[in-house]
Structure 1
Amino acid sequence: MKIGKSKSIVSLFVVLLLLVSSFVLVADKKAFAATPPVTWSPTDKGSAVTLSNGNLTLASSTGVGEYATLQDFFDAYAGNPIELPKGDYLITSTLIIREGTTLLAYGSSFYSTTNITLLALESNVKIYGLELHGINTSETEYKTHTASSIGINLVGNLATPIENILLEDCYIHDFANSGVYGTFVNSMTINKCKIFRISYAGILFTSSSNIKVLNSHIKDLSPNGSGGNAYNIAFTRSNSVTDDLEVLPLSRDCLVDSCLIENNTLWEGLDTHGGENIRFTNNTIRGVKTPIAFVGVNGYGTQVNLFPPNRCLADGNTIYGIGTGIGIVLAGNATNRAKANTLSNNTLVDCGINSETITAGAIKFYLTEGTVIDGNTLQDSYCSAIDIYSYNEGFVVTGNSIIDVRHESTTAAGIIFRSTGNKGHIASNFIIKSASPPTGATVSDQGVLFVTTTGNEVTLGDNENTFTNPYVNCIGSHVVFL
């Protein structure tokens, strides 16, 4: 009997201990109700937040505390997980999410009726499932650019960057400037997010590093943009203060992978200005003027493209052009070439500029060193498929499949050299004029064409070339057939 009674006491003690432990774990997660109030039955019966006489009231087992604003509530529980119930929250001034806070917000929406920045983030913040609605008065109002309208703003500095941020399953839309804007940010992941209807930039970072945008959908950039520009995603550097890279470093080591990029007829889909090791991989891009751009960033003053992109990669992307812009452009400058960049295994359909006066191909590169163009498929390109423009040192163009080139210019070809200063190697490409070109299209007869022979030194290996005129202006000292 004594032994049995002891066992009963121990069992009761264990049960009580588990219940207490469970309560402590649940109580660590604070919850807050929307305004206007929504019906909510919290899982933690000992802790709930409701609206009380215009103030936010926390009722818990430890007492009652009132918070005059949502910011006060976030500040009170900074560094803790906070769970928001479903509901719409009217935000009238920027909310700051403090360091170390995790916000669980599935089914919750922050919105504004004016052009403000909704959220500013400190370091080590995670946000799950939140909707940010920038302008709640019109679905077309976002098209008129307003600098103050930003969904999430992250502003660090050289000494103390914003670090270790996660956005997941968030929906950010209708902002008249940017969806996510960051400067001096290090280590941030944007995963499975949707960013729609943005005036200037869906996602834009300056002087930032280790940014990952994964499995996300960015679409509907304004046809007006800002200053003639609009970006789905861009990594760049400000040129407004100094050319000193110790003060304003280049963006580097960033990745955009497995994203859907759509509807930007004004400017560029995936972009870097002067980035280092920027990688765009396995994305689908359509309805965009210039789907991918690796270009330089201007200097402080009048220097154009002072800092070029280096060691960047576009690999495994599927691109559907709209006939108004280059599919992938890579460019340096005359004194500082873009170095060691690779464009590989991409599929480009209907890319290039459909014009009788503007000549630019589906892939165009100039002022570069060590560029690799490998394993790409280019179908129904406008004017030219691969446009090797000028001053490209040590390039390699191998293993590409070029199928038909739409002829809107007398200087149209599968691979074209338009200017001087190109030194490199072309081999193992399939340059094919198909038996059934696009309906109504005039297809170029020229496979490899030198518009300019002076100053070029190119070796041509074996290529399968079925164009009517496979090699045009390819006899002379500028070409060596292997």
Structure 2
Amino acid sequence: AKVLGLGGSTAPTTSPANMVQMWSEDIMADHAQLHYMAEGGIARPLGDFYDPRDWGLVPDDNSGSVPGDNVTAFDAMIGAMSAGDIAHFTKGTWYTNDDLDVTKGIVFRGDGQDTIIECEANSKNIIHATASGVTIETIKIVGTGQASTGGTAIDVSGANSGSYLSNIKIIDTDISLCARGIWGNFIEQFEFRGGKIIDMERSGIVLLSCQDGFIHDYYIEDVQGNNSADYGIAITRTVGAEATYPTSKRIDVYDNIVKDVTYWTGYDTHGGENINFYNNKAFGCYAGFKLSTDNDTANVIHAPINCDVIGNFTDSESDAGDTAYGIYLGGQTHGGTDYIATGKVLGNTVRRHGLQTGGGENVGGIYIAYTEGVPVETNTLIECVSSAIVVYGNNHGFITSGNTVVDVWGKSTGANEARAVSVGPGTNNKGYIGENSFRVTSFTAPANGT
């Protein structure tokens, strides 16, 4: 099936620097059903311990039939386990040549990053969880390479929209050399916390039709699929009927770092509801944060609703004027109907985002379009290209206030060389612009810029 490309709670009442400490209570009030997770994780009774070696799994050997034999032995061990039991993989490299199917709510545990699950076959779901109550923690997963055939490190998937998996935890698990890191379908009440995801071909973390969870404290680097489906963290849905593929809802993404997604977006949601991005960082990404519609014109279009982007940092790390938005929040129009986005863009820092070439003045460091009641306030934009803030069109009741724009630059010839705040060229913008600060320092624009 074709997958769509890839926000909130009450705004904090303090400065962005103190964001995480201050919004936690608000988040818990909005997501009371998740409170027990944030207060110490999903509680489970302590089950029995299983040593994979007792079931015939062999570490540190990828010769002959060992990888395949490990899969057979793993299936036998899972068959004997009950929900809550713990499969404890000791230090070493455990080879497989097929999916390790986790069909019960067990704990899949290693001894830290010296416990490695390495797949020897292409295009596998290396750990494939299809049960509620699964925990995967303190291991490292390695695929066959940074290519489309590299496989998916962890696939956690419910059967359909009527059968969500719940109580899923992925904790302190590193991933490398795969096509995709973590891939989730139809899951709820989850926590993904910590770990490094490095050298992916397509994505770090992608969730489709998921709800009520947290993604935090990840380091994701080098997603290089060379196309517009590359993401650090993306929350979306699959194209199709809404009842079959619902929007993703009530997910908080915070304290993550994403680096070097040079062909598309560091953080993304398409058509999400209450998808919030707090205190994240993006470096070297073509676009930092993009919150847009799912554009499912054959079925039903969803704009991002109540999606907040607060206290984040993004730097394209390019001086060439060849990147896209630092932060994009927008709906769209289709067939005479406007699909309106809502949310907040507050207290972010955006550096070196925007396009110098033709039409670049309509990209900008921060961009909003087809929105209602969106505040763009207390942001800092540094060395953005062509336009720092773009209020493109059909923004009703917007507020652009208290922002600081430093050294915006643009084309060396022609009109519209550099704009701190640009309204249009779309129409029907109604809102307030005031109390913003514009500064020029000793910064020298790159070649062909001014």
Does TM-score exceed 0.5, indicating one fold? yes
Q: What secondary structure does 2:77 align onto?
A: helix
Percent identity for Structure 1 against Structure 2: 26
Q: Is 1:318 matched with 2:313?
A: yes
Deviations 1:353-398 (A, max 9, x none): 2324533210111111111101100011101110111111111111
Q: Is 1:111 matched with 2:118?
A: yes
Q: Match for residue 198 of structure 1? A: 200
After TM superposition, the structure 1 = structure 2 runs for residues 51-70 of structure 1, keeping only pairs within 5 Å, are 69-70=73-74
Q: What secondary structure does 1:73 align onto?
A: helix
Task: Name the CA shift for 1:37/1:237 in 2 (closer, same or farther; >3 Å).
Answer: closer
Task: Name the CA shift for 1:54/1:142 in 2 (closer, same or farther; >3 Å).
Answer: closer
How far residue 272 of structure 1 moved from its aligned partner, in angstroms, is 0.3
Q: Which of 290, 293, 297 lines up with 2:287 in the alignment?
A: 290
User: Matched residues in 2 for 1:170 and 1:329: separation?
Assistant: 30
Q: What secondary structure does 2:286 align onto?
A: strand
Q: Match for residue 71 of structure 1? A: 75
User: Matched residues in 2 for 1:117 and 1:427: separation?
Assistant: 52
Q: What secondary structure does 1:351 align onto?
A: coil
Task: Name the CA shift for 1:406/1:442 in 2 (closer, same or farther; >3 Å).
Answer: farther
After TM superposition, the structure 1 = structure 2 runs for residues 351-362 of structure 1, keeping only pairs within 5 Å, are 351-359=353-361, 360-362=363-365
Q: TM-score, normalised by structure 2?
A: 0.79
How far residue 32 of structure 1 moved from its aligned partner, in angstroms, is 2.3
Q: Is 1:88 matched with 2:93?
A: yes
Task: Name the CA shift for 1:399/1:128 in 2 (closer, same or farther; >3 Å).
Answer: same
Deviations 1:303-358 (A, max 9, x none): 7x921111001111111123411111111012233333101100111111232453
Structure 1 contact 108–131 (Cα < 8 Å) conserved: yes
Q: Which of 172, 175, 197 lines up with 2:175 in the alignment?
A: 172
List gaps (5 residues or longer) in structure 2: 1-44
Pairs aligned (count): 383
Q: Which of 88, 106, 110 lines up with 1:101 in the alignment?
A: 106
User: Matched residues in 2 for 1:396 and 1:129: separation?
Assistant: 45
Q: Match for residue 29 of structure 1? A: 49
Structure 1 contact 55–68 (Cα < 8 Å) conserved: no
Letter of the 2:286 partner, please give it: K
User: Matched residues in 2 for 1:111 and 1:56: separation?
Assistant: 12
Q: Match for residue 415 of structure 1? A: 421
Q: Match for residue 238 of structure 2? A: 238
Letter of the 2:74 partner, please give it: L
Structure 1 contact 437–443 (Cα < 8 Å) conserved: no
After TM superposition, the structure 1 = structure 2 runs for residues 337-416 of structure 1, keeping only pairs within 5 Å, are 337-359=339-361, 360-408=363-411, 410-411=415-416, 412-416=418-422
More deviation, 253-262/329-338: 329-338
Structure 1 contact 329–365 (Cα < 8 Å) conserved: yes
Larger relative contact order, structure 1 or 2 (CA cutoff 8 Å, min sep 6) = 2
Structure 1 contact 169–191 (Cα < 8 Å) conserved: yes
Task: Name the CA shift for 1:306/1:55 in 2 (closer, same or farther; >3 Å).
Answer: closer
Q: Match for residue 143 of structure 2? A: 134
Q: Is 1:331 matched with 2:330?
A: yes
User: Matched residues in 1 for 2:219 and 2:211: separation?
Assistant: 21
Instruction: From the CA coordinates, give the structure whose radius of gyration is larger.
Output: 1
Task: Name the CA shift for 1:191/1:100 in 2 (closer, same or farther; >3 Å).
Answer: same
Q: Match for residue 163 of structure 1? A: 166
Structure 2 contact 67–96 (Cα < 8 Å) conserved: no
Task: Name the CA shift for 1:68/1:418 in 2 (closer, same or farther; >3 Å).
Answer: closer
User: Matched residues in 2 for 1:252 and 1:32: separation?
Assistant: 37
Q: TM-score, normalised by structure 1?
A: 0.74
User: Matched residues in 1 for 2:439 and 2:449: separation?
Assistant: 11
Task: Name the CA shift for 1:85/1:442 in 2 (closer, same or farther; >3 Å).
Answer: same
Task: Name the CA shift for 1:357/1:38 in 2 (closer, same or farther; >3 Å).
Answer: closer
Structure 1 contact 414–431 (Cα < 8 Å) conserved: yes
How far residue 442 of structure 1 moved from its aligned partner, in angstroms, is 8.2
